[in-house]
Amino acid sequence: MTDLEVVARGHVGGDGSVERLSCHPRLPLVACSDSERPAVHIWNCGEGRLRALGSVGLTSEPYGEAFGWERTGRTPAVAWHPEQPLLVVAGEDGLRQWTPAGISEPEGAPATASYRSLAFSPDGRTLWGSPSARDEGEGWESSDVLDLGSGTIGAGPRWDTGVAEHPGGGLVATLASDQGATYCLFARVDQGVAPAVMRPLRRALILDCDGYGTPLFSADGRHVAVRGNAYDNSVEVFELPSLRRVLATTLGAPSPGYPYPQEWLDQMRSWARQNIAFGSRPDVLWIAEPTGALLEVDLETRQAVEHDVLTGTRVSALAATATGELLVAGSGGTLVLLSVLYRSAQNHTTNRDTSKATAEAFLETTAELPDDGDDWETHLVLTDGTRTWEADDLATTTTAGSTDPTWLQLQAAINTAELNRDGGTTTSTDVTRSGSGVDG
């Protein structure tokens, strides 16, 4: 059993809500992304208090009626330095850096660079930006590697949305998204090498459609959770090093198909897009509900317990602090810090030992992708947590039913069309999804 205790409350300025919480990985700091304008508010959440420290983009123009890709294009990306109280924000005016001393242009990085996603390397000496802003870059097909010591910019692999560092070290997870399917890619990162480069590995997860959030690792590194997607409020949790899926659920009613009824759209959009978190207990996933309650999901027993936190207030974002406390943002700018009191606390030393062993075990089961340029996808060994496909398997599959993921139905349909064009015969496929994602 678990008890939640409200430690502190705060209010993030303005009449809007916080749509995303980005906690520092080691310090009691959080970046709160404003829902009304391209602004980021920095708060201290240590010592049982919530204190506003500053903002980036506070005078920017409101989002107004911006929607879909226009809205996404104006939303700033943020990245915390892994050790220092330093936040880099990529916004409409390029890169800006916040520290307790104030706002400045980041050292070793071009202030005019524009990125949709940012991440620091685990050692903090390299900044990764996506999509590529280099003249010779290929946009979304590559990324930038910014050596903050020398100021040089090199080429990196394709990735988007965000990068999650495995607590065991030497391993990160990120996404490569497409409308048909999204890869959750794992990459090796060598320690103490500048610039640090993500080196993608062959084993990867394949997720249906697109619209997923940055992957989340549990404190002991044995689970990775992914929140999606463009068509449903999905939550999936996978076990490491096996990548076996241990949880798959849809929050609220599943998609009825296109065209979407307004009633379903309303309930679908009532769920916060950032509403899952791992706390200090690694086998528990927290899910925020639109009603203001937090759902405690035990991944071992498959049991769930509901905790009333913001009764009558919509939860707009949920995150875990560096010490395992929970931060909940509600409508109207409400910010609540919760202490999580477990009846049987997990030893943090055990978590660190387990996470290191898990990362090493995963790395031993796979190899780096060869540097084949545009053909890197052909070397992936993909799994959805229940089945595994080598590249040759997908190149020849021609059978898929309505219960199979959309990407597999599409792949089977493409293979079938090519086989029929060449004069062969095969089994028909059933591709059921149509229309675009809910938000354009």
CA proximity to 74, closest of 56, 83, 61: 61
Structure tokens at 221: 């590194």
For the stretch 237-274, pLDDT in tens is 999 999 999 999 999 998 898 899 999 999 999 999 99
Q: How many Cβ atoms are within 10 Å of 280's Cβ, its own excluded?
A: 20
Residues 6+ apart with CB under 8 A from 217: 164, 165, 166, 167, 173, 223, 224, 278
- Omega prior to 259 cis, within 30 of 0: yes
Q: Collapsing DSSP states into helix, strand and coil, what is residue 68?
A: helix
**What's the CA gap between 431 and 411, in Å, rounded?**
10
Using alpha carbons only, give the angle 123, 274, 294 rounded to the nearest 5 degrees: 115
Q: Output the tens digit of pLDDT for each of the chain's 440 residues.
A: 689 999 999 999 776 789 999 999 999 999 999 999 999 999 999 999 999 999 999 999 999 988 888 998 899 999 999 999 999 999 988 999 999 999 999 888 887 888 999 999 999 999 999 999 887 656 788 999 999 999 999 999 999 999 999 999 999 999 999 988 999 999 999 888 889 999 999 999 999 999 999 999 999 999 999 999 888 999 999 999 999 999 999 999 988 988 999 999 999 999 999 999 999 999 999 999 999 999 999 999 999 999 999 888 899 999 999 999 999 999 889 999 999 987 665 555 568 899 999 999 999 999 999 987 678 999 999 999 999 998 788 888 888 888 888 889 888 998 899 888 877 554 444 544 444 566 65
Tens-digit pLDDT profile for residues 369-380 = 998 767 899 999
b/e per residue, 112-142, with b = 16+ CB within 10 A?
ebbbbbbbbbbeebbbbbbbbbbeebeebeb
